[in-house]
Structure 1
Amino acid sequence: MASSLRAFAVRRGEPVLVIPAAPTPREVKPLSDIDDGEGMRFYSSGIHLYRRNPSKQNTDPARVIREALARALVPYYPLAGRLREEAGRKLVVDCGAQGVMFAEADADLTADDFGDLRFCPPFPCFEHFILESTTNAGAEPVIGRPLLYFQVTRLRCGGFVFGHRVCHCMADAPGGMQFQKAIGELARGADAPPVAPAWGREMFMARQPPQPCYPHLEYVEPPATGAKPDRMLSTPPDAMSRVHFFFGPKEIAGLRQRAPRNMSCCSRFELVAAGIWRSRTAALGYPADEEVRLSIIVNARGRGVVPLPEGFYGNAFAYSAAATTAGELCRDRGGLGHALELVKKAKAAVTGEYLQSVADLMVLAGRPLFALSRTYIVSDVSHAGFKGVDLGWGEAVYGGPAKGGEGPFPGVANYFSRSKNGKGEEGILVPVCLPEDAMDKFQLQIQGLTSEL
C-alpha cells in the first residue's frame, strides 16, 4: 500500500494557455455520435511520476514539456480548439487554436516520498498534481473550455509529476496516451510524431435515419421494485470504504478452479470481473428479485470489429451490459458459471454493428447518460499504454489514472490495471469502493472465491 505523504505544499504558478507552435487549419469538425454522449462529457485524469535523470541535471521538465506540447498541438490541432453544442445536443470542435491550459508547480517532496505505488490508483494526494477545470462546486462543463489541462510539478530530488486532464469527448484512454507519447517523442528530439493523427470520426456517425438494432440496457435504468434506493448512489462519500484488491497468479488460479470446465479458456479480466460482480452484489444485500447489472467498457481497438485508421485517437468503445437478478447471480454457490457466462456474452456483443447501433441510439435518445442504479461499470486500462509515455526522463515510476474511478458516484465505476505484488508477480489491481459495512462482507466473498481448492 502506498504510504501516506507527510504534510507538504505545492506552489503552483499562474496557469497559461499553450497554443500550437505553427499555424493550423481554422475549421469546425463534428465529433462522432459516440464521442458526444452525456457520459463522455467530463475530464479523465491521469498522472505520471518520474525520477531524477542525471543526464537532465540542468534541464527544466516544465519548459521541455511545454515546448513539446506546443509542437504536438500542430498535427493534433483539434485538441487546441473548443467544443460547442449545436441542434440535437450535437458537439462540434471549433478549431481556432485557442490553446490548452498549462501550469508549472514546485513541491517539497521527492519521488521516494510517494512510497510504494504498486497499489495505485488513486495516486497519493492526486488533487495537488492535476490542474482542475472546475469552475463551480460539483460542476465540470466541457463546452467552451480548454480540452486539455496539464501540470508539471518539479520535485526536490530532480524528478517531477506530470498531471493531465483530457476531455473524454476528444479521446479515450489509448487515444489520450497516443497524444502524450507524441509529446514524449518531440520532447526527446523527434521532428514529428512517429504516428500521424487521424480524425476518422465519420465511422461512428449515426445512420440516416438512425436505426438502433440492440436493446442497449446500458442506457436504461433497471426496473424499479419499490425497494430502497441503491446504496451505492445514496451512501455519502465519507461513509465509503476504499480497499485495493490484487488478483495475482494464486487468486486467478482460485477463480479458475471455480469456473465450469467449458469456460477454462476465460481471460483473467473475465474471471476477475465475474468474481467482483458476484461478490459485490452479495455484499450489498440486494433483494433476490432485483435486477443487477455489470456494464463492461469494450474497446474496438485490436478486435477487428471496425477498420480504424492508424493514428485514430477518438473514442472507439461501447458499454455492454450483462443483466440478471441478484438471486440468480449469487445462487451458484461457490462458483462463477452464471456470472462468467454473462460477462463473456456482453463482451462478445460489441461488434461493428453494435457500435453503429450505439451511435444511432445517441441521436434518437438525446445522447443519454448510461444507467447507474444497481450497476457496476468496469474498464480494463491495462493495455492503454500509460507506461509507454517517456518524456525524456525514462520510464515512469507510476503511470496511470489519478483516481480509482471517474464520475460523481464513488464505486460505481472501476479501472482494472496491471500491477505487481511484493514477490514481483504480475496481476490485476482493482480499487474497490463500497459502504463501510458492505466492505467486510465483500472481502469475505472474494476470499471464498479466490482461495485455492
Structure 2
Amino acid sequence: MVVSLKNCCTVKPAEPTWNGPQPLSELDQVGTTTHVSTIYFYRPTQNWLSPPDTITNTLKESLSKALVPFYPIAGRLSWIGKGRLQINCNAEGVQFFEAESESKFEDFGDFSPCPEYEYLIPSVDYSVPIHEMPLLLVQLTKFKCGGISLSLLVSHVVVDGPSALHFFSEWARIARGEPLGTSPFHDRRVFRAGDPPRASPCIDHEGFIQPPLLLGKLDSLEERKKKTTVAMLKLTKTQVEKLKKMANEDQSSDLEHDYTRYETLAGHIWRCACKARKHGNEQPTALGVCVDSRRRMSTPLPIGYFGNATLDVIATCRAGDLMSKPLSYASSRIREAIKKVNDEFVNSGIDFLKNQPDLTQFQDIHSVGSTQGPFYGNPNLGVVSWLTIPIYGLDFGWGKEIYMGPGTHDFDGDSLVLPSHDGDGSLTVALCLQVAHMDDFKKHFYEDI
C-alpha cells in the first residue's frame, strides 16, 4: 500500500496554559514507557468531504481547544535521574500528520491489524532526546474511496487506557461543538507524585520483579530476538458462554461469584500459550494483569483523574498445573492476583518503587529494541482487558467509526481482549506470539472450547 505524506504540523493549545514541571507518580513511570497506538476508520458523509480540508480543519481546531484543559499532553518528558521522569508542561504541542492513499477500504478486509498499518500510524523516533519527543502523534489518512483513518499514538507515561479514552472522547465532543463533559483532574499527588516514600513496603510486590525465564536460560535475550506475528482471534457469544460454563462448572463451592469473562478468557489464553510453546511440567510461567485502581482505593480517585492509575500484578504457577488441571485453576490464579489490588496494596507498591535506586529495571521498553525491563514473552504473557473501556463510538461530527482497534503491537506475549463493535456479546483477542508458536496456539484456542 502506498501512502503519501502531505503535511506535518505542530498543534498547540488554543489558549495559554499552566506552565511548569509536573511530577509523575511511580505508576506513571513503570511498565510500558513507550507510545501506544489505536486506529479508527470512518466513512464520512458527502457533506464532510467537501471542501477537501473540512475534516482536517475540524480535527486541528478542536484538538487545539482540547489541549487547553488537557495541557500535559502538549508538554514534554524529561529525565530527572535514577530512571525517573517528569512532565514539563510547556505547551510545545503535538504532531499532526496528513496523508493520502490510493487504497480503498475493501483492501483491508475486516480491518484486522496488518503490516500495512505501519503506513497509517506515525512512527516515533526514540533516538531523539526525550525532551524533544511529542507525547501525542496523530495521523489522518484519506483514502481513494472517500473513507479516512485516524490513528492516535499517545505516551503511556502520561496516560493509561481510561485516561487516553477520556481525552479522545472530550476532543470529539469539542469537535462536535459540545462543551467539555468531564474536566480532567491533574493533581497526581493523590498517588504521592514527587513525595518521598512513607515506609518500607510490607507486601511482596513480585509484579514489579522480572517474570520467570525459560528453564535452563540465564536471560531472555534469545527469546526477545525471535520473529513474532499478530492474530485477531474472534469468539462468538456462544463460545464465550461455553468457556465461562467450563470454568464455573469446576469452581470450588466457596467462590464468592462466578469467574468473569476476563478471568475465564485470560485463563484460556494462558493455558493455550503453554501448550503451543510446548512447556514442560516444571516450567514456571506468569501472566501479567493490568488492574485499574480507580475504584479499588479506600477513597476512590477523583472523577476524571488524568494519569496512570493501573497497577500490574502477576499470576504465577507451573505450566504442568495449568495444562493438566481444569480451566477453573487458571482462572482462580488470575482472580487471586486481581483481588490483592486494594488501597494498602497500591500504596505499598508505590513505596516499594519509591525505595528503588533506579526505576529503569521496571520499565518495559523492549518493544523499541531495548533489552532492559521485564519480559512477558515466552514463557510468560500479558492479557490486557479493554472490555470496560468505552473504546467505540468516537464521533468527531461525521459519524461513528466503522472499525476501531489496536495499532501495532509486535512483542511476544502481548495480548488484548476487546468487546465486539456491535455489542452482540462476542469478543476478540488481539495476540502477538512468536511465529513458531502461533499456529499451534490457534489450534488449541478453538479446539479446547
TM-score, length-normalised on structure 2?
A: 0.87
* C-alpha separation in 2, matches of 1:338 and 1:226: 23
Quick check: 1:188–1:392 contact (8 Å CA) kept in 2? Answer: yes
Amino acid aligned to 2:48: K
Q: Select the residue among 107, 110, 113 that pairs with 1:116.
A: 110
Judged with a 3 Å threshold, the aligned counterparts in structure 2 of structure 1 residues 52 and 387 are, in CA distance, closer, same or farther, namely same
| Equivalent residues of 2:176, 2:396 under 8 A apart | yes
SS at 2:39's partner residue? strand
The Cα shift of 1:167 comes to 0.7
The residue number in structure 2 matching 1:339 is: 330
Deviations 1:171-227 (A, max 9, x none): 11111111111211111112x422111113111226633432322222222466752
CA pair 304-398 structure 1, distance change in 2 beyond 3 A: farther
Question: Any idea what SS the aligned residue of 2:44 has?
Answer: coil
Residue 5 of structure 2 is aligned to residue 17 of structure 1: no
CA 1:444–1:229: 2 relative to 1, 3 Å = farther
2:184 counterpart residue number: 197
**Distance in 2 between residues matched to 1:99 and 1:85, nearest whole Å:** 19
1:401-434 Cα shifts (integer Å, max 9, x gaps) = 212x3xxx6232211111269xx84322112333
Per the TM alignment, residue 438 of structure 1 is displaced from its structure 2 partner at its CA by 2.8
User: How many Å separate the matches in 2 of 1:57 and 1:242?
Assistant: 33
* Range moving further from structure 2, 152-161 or 59-68: 152-161
**Equivalences, count:** 426
SS at match of 2:276: helix
Alpha carbons of structure 1 residues 242 and 41: separation in structure 2 relative to 1, 3 Å: closer
- Alignment partner for residue 267 of structure 1, among 252, 255, 260? 260
Aligned mates of 1:9, 1:251 — CA distance in 2: 38
For residue 400 of structure 2, what is the amino acid of its counterpart? E
Partner Cα separation in structure 2 for residue 220 and residue 51 of structure 1: 45
Report the RMSD for the aligned CA atoms in angstroms. Answer: 2.6
Deviations 1:22-73 (A, max 9, x none): 1112221111111122x23200111111102133242521111011111111
Inter-partner Cα distance in structure 2 for 1:249 and 1:229:
42
8 Å contact 1:10–1:106 — kept in the other structure?
A: yes
Q: Is the 8 A contact 2:240 2:427 kept in 1?
A: no
Tell me: CA distance 1:230–1:414, structure 2 relative to 1, closer, same or farther (3 Å).
farther
Partner of 2:371: none
The match for 1:96 is: 90
Q: Could you say what secondary structure the match of 2:363 adopts?
A: coil
Aligned residue runs from structure 1 range 153-302, under 5 A? 153-190=141-178, 192-205=179-192, 208-222=197-211, 227-228=216-217, 234=223, 236-238=225-227, 240-259=228-247, 260-262=250-252, 265-302=258-295
Q: Which moved more, 1:201-210 or 1:44-53?
A: 201-210
What is the alpha-carbon distance in structure 1 between the residues aligned to residue 73 and residue 229 of structure 2?
37
* One-letter identity of the residue aligned with 1:431: A
Query: Structure 2: where are the runs of 5+ without partners?
Result: 365-373
Would you say 1:83 and 2:77 are equivalent positions?
yes
Task: Tell me, yes or no, if structure 1 residue 74 matches structure 2 residue 68.
Answer: yes
Kindly state the Cα deviation for residue 21 of structure 1 after the two structures are TM-superposed. Answer: 0.8
| Range with greater deviation from structure 2 (227-236 or 174-183) | 227-236
Contact persistence 1:210–1:363 (CA under 8 A): no
Query: 2:24 aligned to 2, 24, 31, which one?
Result: 31
**Counterparts of 1:224 and 1:235, CA distance in 2:** 12
Q: Does 1:391 align with 2:404?
A: no
Larger displacement relative to structure 2 (199-208 or 60-69):
199-208
User: 1:52 aligns to what?
Assistant: 44
Preserved contact between residue 47 and residue 162 of structure 1 (Cα < 8 Å):
yes
Cα 1:399–1:302 shift into 2, 3 Å: farther
Matched residue type, 2:397: G
TM-score in terms of structure 1 length: 0.86
Q: Which residues of 2 match residues 355-374 of structure 1 at below 5 A?
A: 355-365=346-356, 366-367=358-359, 368-369=362-363, 371-372=374-375, 374=379
Shift of residue 106, structure 1, vs aligned partner: 1.4
Q: Which amino acid aligns with 1:323?
A: T
Distance 1:125 1:255, change over 3 A: same
1:128 aligned partner, one-letter code:
Y
Distance 1:256 1:72 in 2: 41
Correspondent of 1:377 among 379, 382, 388: 382
Check whether the contact 1:247–1:272 (CA below 8 A) recurs between aligned residues. Answer: no
Q: 1 CA distance for matches of 2:428 and 2:129?
A: 31
What are the residue-to-residue correspondences of 1:347-358 with 2, within 5 Å? 347-358=338-349
The residue type equivalent to 2:414 in the other structure is A
Which one of the candidate residues 27, 34, 47 is aligned to 1:42? 34
| Conserved 8 A contact 1:142-1:167 | no
List runs of 5+ in structure 1 lacking aligned partners: 1-7
State whether residues 78 and 95 of structure 1, in contact with CA within 8 Å, keep that contact through their aligned partners in structure 2. Answer: yes
Provide the secondary structure at the position in 1 that maps to 2:239: helix
Over 6 Å off, 4+ runs: 229-232
The yes-or-no answer on 1:441 pairing with 2:448 is no
1:337 counterpart SS class: helix
Q: Residue type matched to 2:445 in 1?
A: I
Please give the per-residue CA displacement for 1:236-295, whole angstroms capped at 9, x wherever unaligned.
Answer: 554x45433222223223323432144671111111100110111122122222211111
Residues 221, 36 of structure 1: alpha-carbon distance in 2 compared, 3 angstrom cutoff = closer
Structure 1 residues 178-187 or 242-251, which shifts more? 242-251
Identity within the alignment, %: 28
Measured after TM superposition, the shift of residue 300 of structure 1 is 2.2
